[in-house]
């Protein structure tokens, strides 16, 4: 289930027109970007799964998106030049500061029914993925994800980029958390292959 969700999230980020593609957004096994990443990278990775029912499956899925941006200015200018870069003459949707990128990801993913629940979407929703990948009855997602939190931006060193520990690379990273993506399989579903 979680794989159908995170593939849908990755594909939605890439196709949303907010400057992400195959080189800047990928499913990763944790928050860290690949060593080859450019100036910014969004790592899509899974989170906790839980159920709150004994008889039926009433599951809630979480996932995270970690944004990493390389520091390309002197360290004493990171705050105003990269994290909170806010140039008045640039439209809000085109701003390249760290907070602007975080905000676009949050707005795109929060309660986005087309990414998770609705079928017949381009790119595929999570439920489209489940149907395509299954040969049995599909009990898909019934509610989309909700934005939960974002951590404060942190400076990271060369090891974050899989460099030598003494490398002089510096970056900024923050993780957005989403949850409440609900999937139900009723207790009446007693036989057959289910997804």
CA distance 147 to 4: 19
CA distance 73 to 158: 16
pLDDT of residue 193: 47
CA distance 2 to 19: 25
Instruction: Give a yes or no: residue 174 inside a domain.
Output: yes
123 closest CA partner among 2, 22, 7: 7
CATH number assigned to the domain comprising residue 145? 3.30.2000.30
pTM: 0.85
Instruction: Give a yes or no: residue 52 inside a domain.
Output: yes
pLDDT per residue rounded down to tens, the chain (195 residues): 899 999 999 999 999 999 999 999 999 999 999 988 888 999 999 988 887 876 777 899 999 999 999 876 556 655 555 555 555 555 554 557 788 899 999 999 999 999 999 999 999 999 999 999 988 788 899 999 999 999 999 988 888 888 766 667 888 999 999 999 998 877 665 555 445
Instruction: Give a yes or no: residue 70 inside a domain.
Output: yes
Instruction: Give a yes or no: residue 192 inside a domain.
Output: no
Instruction: Give a yes or no: residue 140 inside a domain.
Output: yes
Tally of structural domains, the chain: 1
State the residue range of the domain holding 7: 2-185
pLDDT of residue 191: 53
Instruction: Give a yes or no: residue 97 inside a domain.
Output: yes
Instruction: Give a yes or no: residue 57 inside a domain.
Output: yes
154-156 and 171-185: which strand pairing? antiparallel
Instruction: Give a yes or no: residue 30 inside a domain.
Output: yes
């Amino acid at each position: 289930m979680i794989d159908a969700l995170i593939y849908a999230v990755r594909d939605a980020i890439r196709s949303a027109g907010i400057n992400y593609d195959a080189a800047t957004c990928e499913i990763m096994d944790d928050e860290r970007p690949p060593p080859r990443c450019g100036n910014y990278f969004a790592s899509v990775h899974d989170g906790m799964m839980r159920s709150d029912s004994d008889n039926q499956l009433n599951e809630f899925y979480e996932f995270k998106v970690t944004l990493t941006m390389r520091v390309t200015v002197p360290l004493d200018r990171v705050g105003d030049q990269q994290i909170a870069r806010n140039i008045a003459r640039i439209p809000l949707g085109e701003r390249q500061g760290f907070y602007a990128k975080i905000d676009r990801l949050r707005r795109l993913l929060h309660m986005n029914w087309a990414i998770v629940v609705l079928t017949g979407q381009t790119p595929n929703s999570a439920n489209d993925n489940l149907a395509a990948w299954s040969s049995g009855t599909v009990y898909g997602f019934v509610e989309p994800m909700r934005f939960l939190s974002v951590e404060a931006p942190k400076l990271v060193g060369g090891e974050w980029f899989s460099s030598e520990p003494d490398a002089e690379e510096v970056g900024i990273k923050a993780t957005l958390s989403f949850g409440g993506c609900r999937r139900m399989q009723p207790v009446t579903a007693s036989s057959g292959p289910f997804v």
